[in-house]
Chain A
Amino acid sequence: MSDPYFLSILIFSPLVGMIVLAFMPKDVKAPLRTVGFLATLLPLILALIAFVRFNADMGELQFVTSVPWIEIGDPEVTNSSLYIYYALGVDGLSLLLILLTTIITALAAAASVKIQKEIKGYYLLFLLLEVGMLGVFASQNLLLFFVFFEMTLVPTYFLIAKWGYREREKAANMFLIYNGLGSAVMLIAFIVLFTQTGTMNIEKLQAIDFSRLPSTVPLAHSAFRYGLLFALIVAFAVKLPIFPLHSWMLRVHAEAPVPTVMIHSGILLKIGAYGLIRFCMGFFPEAFADFAYGLAILGLINLLYGAFIAFRQSDFKLVLAYSSVSHMGIVLLGLAALNTAGIQGAVFQVISHGMISAMLFFMVGVFYERTHTTELRNISGLAKSMPRTSGLLLAAGLASLGLPGMSGFISEFMAFLGLFERLPVLAAIGTLGIIVTAVYVLRAVMKITFGKTKEEHQSVADLRLVELLPAAVMIGVIILIGVYPAVLADSLHLAIDSVLVGIGG
Chain B
Amino acid sequence: MVDYAWLVPLFPLLSFVILLFFGQRWRSGAAYTGVILTFLSFVVAVTVLIDQIGGSTAAVTFDWLRIGDTVLSMGFAVQPLNALMLALVAFVSFLVQLYSKGYMAEDPRIGIFFAYLGLFTFSMLALVISPNLLQFYIFWELVGVCSFLLIGFYYYKEEAKAAAKKAFIVTRIGDVALFIGMILLFWQAGSFAFADIFEAVEAGNIAPGMVTLTAILIFVGAVGKSGQFPLHTWLPDAMEGPTPVSALIHAATMVAAGVYLVALMYPLYLASSAAMLTVAIVGGFTAIFAASIGLVQRDVKRVLAYSTVSQLGYMMLALGVGGYVAGVFHLMTHAFFKALLFLAAGSVIHAVNTQDIEKMGGLWKKLRFTGPLFLAGALAISGFPLLSGFFSKDEIFVATLGAGRWILFAIALIAAFFTAFYMFRLFFLIFQGEARHEEKDVYESPGSMLVPMIVLGVCAVLGGYVNTAWFGTFLADWFGSSTNSLGIDESGGSPGVTIIATVVVLGGIYLAWLIYGKRAISREWLSGRVPWVHKVLYRKYYVDEGYHHTIVWFTSGFSRFLGFFDRFFVNGLVELSAVLVRAVGGMVRRLQSGQVQTYGTVVLIGFVVVILIMAVTGGYFQ
Judge whether B607 is part of the interface by a CB distance below 8 angstroms.
Answer: no
**Closest 5 interchain pairs by CB?**
A340-B68, A404-B138, A450-B161, A308-B559, A311-B559
Q: Are A485 and B574 in contact (CB under 8 A)?
A: no
Q: Cβ of B64: which chain A residues have Cβ within 8 Å of it?
A: 484-486
| Alpha-carbon gap, A4 to B161, bound state (A) | 57
Least distance between A404 CB and chain B CB atoms (Å): 4
Residue of B nearest to A421 (CB): B187
| Alpha-carbon gap, A309 to B563, bound state (A) | 5
Q: Are B155 and A381 in contact (CB under 8 A)?
A: yes
| Alpha-carbon gap, A468 to B152, bound state (A) | 24
Given contacts A247-B566, A489-B67, 5 further A-B pairs with CB under 8 A are A404-B138, A420-B180, A449-B155, A450-B155, A451-B155
Binds A, one of B166-174, B196-204, B308-316, B515-523: B166-174
Q: Cβ of B134: which chain A residues have Cβ within 8 Å of it?
A: 413
Q: Cβ of A434: which chain B residues have Cβ within 8 Å of it?
A: 172, 176, 179
Q: Are B571 and A490 in contact (CB under 8 A)?
A: no
Q: Are B145 and A398 in contact (CB under 8 A)?
A: yes
Q: Cβ of B145: which chain A residues have Cβ within 8 Å of it?
A: 398, 403
Q: Cβ of B68: which chain A residues have Cβ within 8 Å of it?
A: 339-341, 344, 493, 496-497
CB < 8 Å: which of B173, B184, B562, B574 contacts A305? B562
Q: Cβ of B169: which chain A residues have Cβ within 8 Å of it?
A: 435, 438-439, 442
Q: Are B184 and A490 in contact (CB under 8 A)?
A: no
Q: Are B67 and A442 in contact (CB under 8 A)?
A: no
Q: Are B65 and A485 in contact (CB under 8 A)?
A: yes
Binding site for B on A (CB under 8 A): 174, 177, 243-244, 246-248, 305, 308-309, 311-313, 339-341, 344, 381, 383-384, 387, 398, 403-405, 409-410, 413-414, 416-417, 420-421, 424, 427-428, 431-432, 434-436, 438-439, 442-443, 446, 449-453, 484-486, 489-490, 493, 496-497
In the complex, per-residue mask of B129-160: 1 if CB is within 8 Å of any chain A CB, else 0: 00000100111011001000000100110101
| Alpha-carbon gap, A420 to B165, bound state (A) | 29
Q: Cβ of A417: which chain B residues have Cβ within 8 Å of it?
A: 67, 183, 186
Residue of B nearest to A402 (CB): B141
Mark out the residues of chain B between 32 and 71 whose CB falls within 8 Å of any chain A CB in the assembled complex: 63-70
Q: Are A439 and B67 in contact (CB under 8 A)?
A: no
Q: Cβ of A452: which chain B residues have Cβ within 8 Å of it?
A: 156, 158
Least distance between B584 CB and chain A CB atoms (Å): 14
Q: Is the interface of B mostly helix, strand, loop or mixed?
A: helix
In the complex, per-residue mask of B291-321: 1 if CB is within 8 Å of any chain A CB, else 0: 0000000000000000000000000000000
CB < 8 Å: which of B138, B168, B183, B562 contacts A442? B168
Q: Cβ of A449: which chain B residues have Cβ within 8 Å of it?
A: 155
Known contacts A451-B158, A486-B65; A443 and B184 CB within 8 A of each other: no
CB < 8 Å: which of A312, A403, A436 contacts B563? A312
Least distance between A309 CB and chain B CB atoms (Å): 5
Known contacts A341-B67, A421-B187; A416 and B562 CB within 8 A of each other: no
Mark out the residues of chain B between 345 and 378 whose CB falls within 8 Å of any chain A CB in the assembled complex: none
Judge whether B539 is part of the interface by a CB distance below 8 angstroms.
Answer: no
Known contacts A247-B574, A451-B156; A446 and B555 CB within 8 A of each other: no
Least distance between B184 CB and chain A CB atoms (Å): 7
| Alpha-carbon gap, A341 to B190, bound state (A) | 13
Least distance between A303 CB and chain B CB atoms (Å): 13
A to B CB contacts below 8 Å, 17 in the list? A177-B578, A305-B562, A308-B559, A311-B555, A340-B68, A381-B156, A398-B145, A404-B141, A409-B138, A416-B183, A417-B67, A420-B183, A431-B180, A434-B179, A439-B555, A485-B65, A493-B66
Q: Are B566 and A309 in contact (CB under 8 A)?
A: yes
Known contacts A384-B156, A428-B180; A405 and B142 CB within 8 A of each other: yes
Least distance between A133 CB and chain B CB atoms (Å): 26
| Alpha-carbon gap, A251 to B556, bound state (A) | 24
Judge whether B570 is part of the interface by a CB distance below 8 angstroms.
Answer: yes
Judge whether B436 is part of the interface by a CB distance below 8 angstroms.
Answer: no
Q: Cβ of A427: which chain B residues have Cβ within 8 Å of it?
A: 180, 183
| Alpha-carbon gap, A12 to B152, bound state (A) | 49
| Alpha-carbon gap, A450 to B184, bound state (A) | 37
Q: Are B66 and A489 in contact (CB under 8 A)?
A: yes
Residue of A nearest to B123 (CB): A405
In the complex, per-residue mask of B550-577: 1 if CB is within 8 Å of any chain A CB, else 0: 0000011011101100100011011000
Q: Are B176 and A435 in contact (CB under 8 A)?
A: yes
Least distance between B332 CB and chain A CB atoms (Å): 27
Least distance between A169 CB and chain B CB atoms (Å): 13
Residue of A nearest to B135 (CB): A404
| Alpha-carbon gap, A383 to B155, bound state (A) | 8
| Alpha-carbon gap, A174 to B184, bound state (A) | 43
Residue of B nearest to A344 (CB): B67
Least distance between A427 CB and chain B CB atoms (Å): 8
Q: Are A446 and B570 in contact (CB under 8 A)?
A: no
Q: Are B563 and A431 in contact (CB under 8 A)?
A: no
Q: Are B176 and A308 in contact (CB under 8 A)?
A: no
Least distance between B539 CB and chain A CB atoms (Å): 25
Judge whether B164 is part of the interface by a CB distance below 8 angstroms.
Answer: yes
Q: Are A446 and B161 in contact (CB under 8 A)?
A: yes
Q: Are B176 and A431 in contact (CB under 8 A)?
A: yes
Least distance between B531 CB and chain A CB atoms (Å): 36
Known contacts A308-B559, A450-B155, A453-B156; A420 and B184 CB within 8 A of each other: yes
Q: Cβ of B139: which chain A residues have Cβ within 8 Å of it?
A: 404
Q: Are A404 and B142 in contact (CB under 8 A)?
A: yes
CB < 8 Å: which of A247, A416, A451, A490 contacts B66? A490
Name the residue among A309, A449, A493 with the largest chain B CB count within 10 angstroms: A309
Least distance between A330 CB and chain B CB atoms (Å): 14
Least distance between B17 CB and chain A CB atoms (Å): 12
Q: Cβ of A442: which chain B residues have Cβ within 8 Å of it?
A: 165, 168-169
| Alpha-carbon gap, A322 to B67, bound state (A) | 30
Q: Cβ of A311: which chain B residues have Cβ within 8 Å of it?
A: 555-556, 559
| Alpha-carbon gap, A439 to B186, bound state (A) | 28
Q: Cβ of B63: which chain A residues have Cβ within 8 Å of it?
A: 486
Q: Cβ of B176: which chain A residues have Cβ within 8 Å of it?
A: 431-432, 434-435
Least distance between A160 CB and chain B CB atoms (Å): 17
| Alpha-carbon gap, A136 to B469, bound state (A) | 74
Least distance between B34 CB and chain A CB atoms (Å): 18
| Alpha-carbon gap, A204 to B69, bound state (A) | 27
Residue of A nearest to B66 (CB): A489
Least distance between A44 CB and chain B CB atoms (Å): 26
Q: Are A244 and B570 in contact (CB under 8 A)?
A: yes
| Alpha-carbon gap, A19 to B614, bound state (A) | 59
Q: Cβ of A439: which chain B residues have Cβ within 8 Å of it?
A: 169, 555
Q: Are A404 and B180 in contact (CB under 8 A)?
A: no
Q: Are A446 and B67 in contact (CB under 8 A)?
A: no
Q: Cβ of B173: which chain A residues have Cβ within 8 Å of it?
A: 435
Known contacts A341-B67, A450-B156; A247 and B571 CB within 8 A of each other: yes
| Alpha-carbon gap, A446 to B138, bound state (A) | 23
Q: Cβ of A244: which chain B residues have Cβ within 8 Å of it?
A: 570, 573
| Alpha-carbon gap, A424 to B217, bound state (A) | 14
Q: Cβ of B184: which chain A residues have Cβ within 8 Å of it?
A: 420, 424
CB < 8 Å: which of A177, A409, A414 contacts B67? A414
| Alpha-carbon gap, A389 to B277, bound state (A) | 49
| Alpha-carbon gap, A405 to B123, bound state (A) | 11
| Alpha-carbon gap, A420 to B181, bound state (A) | 11
Least distance between B11 CB and chain A CB atoms (Å): 18
Q: Are B164 and A446 in contact (CB under 8 A)?
A: yes
Residue of A nearest to B172 (CB): A438
Least distance between A449 CB and chain B CB atoms (Å): 7
Residue of A nearest to B186 (CB): A417
Name the residue among B68, B180, B560 with the largest chain A CB count within 10 angstroms: B68
Q: Are A309 and B562 in contact (CB under 8 A)?
A: yes
Q: Cβ of B66: which chain A residues have Cβ within 8 Å of it?
A: 486, 489-490, 493
| Alpha-carbon gap, A95 to B498, bound state (A) | 70
| Alpha-carbon gap, A146 to B445, bound state (A) | 73
Q: Are B67 and A308 in contact (CB under 8 A)?
A: no
Least distance between B378 CB and chain A CB atoms (Å): 35
| Alpha-carbon gap, A493 to B130, bound state (A) | 27
Least distance between B272 CB and chain A CB atoms (Å): 19
